Amino acid sequence: MRFLKKLLFDQSDSALSRNLRRKRFGLFRSLLDSLPRPLRILDVGGTQSFWEELGFSEKEQIEFVIFNVSPSRITRPNFTARVGDARDMHEFRDGQFDVVFSNSVIEHVGSFEDQRRMANEVRRVGRRYFVQTPNRGFPMEPHFMVPFFQFMPTEAKIFLAMHFDLGWTKKRATVQEARELVESIRLLTEPQMRQLFPSATMQKEEFLGLTKSFIVYEGWEREMDAVFGATPPGRSLRTAP
């Protein structure tokens, strides 16, 4: 189970997980490399260490703004931290950032309406965006590491959360704590992601033929031509549903 956890999901700091992260975001790196410098990137829900693992440094003329609900640890001069709510980023102007990036965050912000608010804000403050989230239909729930946990009744989830350490979380002492935990995550389906980001290109990350997560991105048309060549008429880079 420990190996499976490291293999499937990227919260781990193991070398294997870091390599998987680099592979996952090879597309993002290719798109980013095609942009002129300097750049300003807003990372919604991220960390400085994530970008360091991907090989970025202050020499790349990229300014990173790390945006979280609590203060983030910053040690590099080209990183700044801001505290706020991804559903209401009123402190930022329309199109203030060259790129908005978010990795496995939108499933944590609340209801589908809350997720819609975050998606709208991502699209508003960035001239381009790149958003990743786990697929609700993948058999192994990525946070609790219990097969089909996302489809269980709430009371069954609460029972498990109170009696077992699940995935990345420790068991909870009270019903209220367990309820808050299991209700803090709302995984998304492909149709829901397309509804939140209707004009985005979608890529699917697969594991053993099953879609493990979705990546949506928009605003990169010129960069995609530079990276992939012009898209022939009638053909889309979007992965077929």
Give pLDDT, residue 228: 57
Most distant CA pair in the chain: distance in Å? 58
Which residue blocks in 107-208 are alpha helix, DSSP H? 112-125, 154-163, 175-182, 190-196
pLDDT at residue 241, rounded to an integer: 35
* pLDDT mean by block of 10 residues, the chain; 241 residues: 52 53 79 92 96 82 96 95 98 98 97 98 98 96 92 94 91 95 96 98 90 94 61 34 35
Element spanning 23, H or E: helix 15-24
pLDDT of residue 239: 36
pLDDT the model gives residue 238: 37
The residue extents of the domains of the chain are 2-139+187-228, 144-184
Axis crossing angle, helix 221-228 with helix 26-33, rounded to the nearest 10: 100
Burial 1-14 (b: 16+ CB within 10 A, else e): eeeebbebbbebee
CA of residue 44 relative to chain centroid, distance: 9
pLDDT at 223: 62
- Asked if 44 and 72 count as a contact pair (C-beta separation under 8 A), the reply is no
The confidence score (pLDDT) of residue 59 equals: 75
Write out the CATH class of domain 2-139+187-228: alpha beta
pTM recorded for the entire structure: 0.85
pLDDT at position 19: 59
Determine the Cα–Cα distance for residues 4 and 207; give it in Å rounded to an integer. 12
User: How high is the pLDDT of residue 55?
Assistant: 83
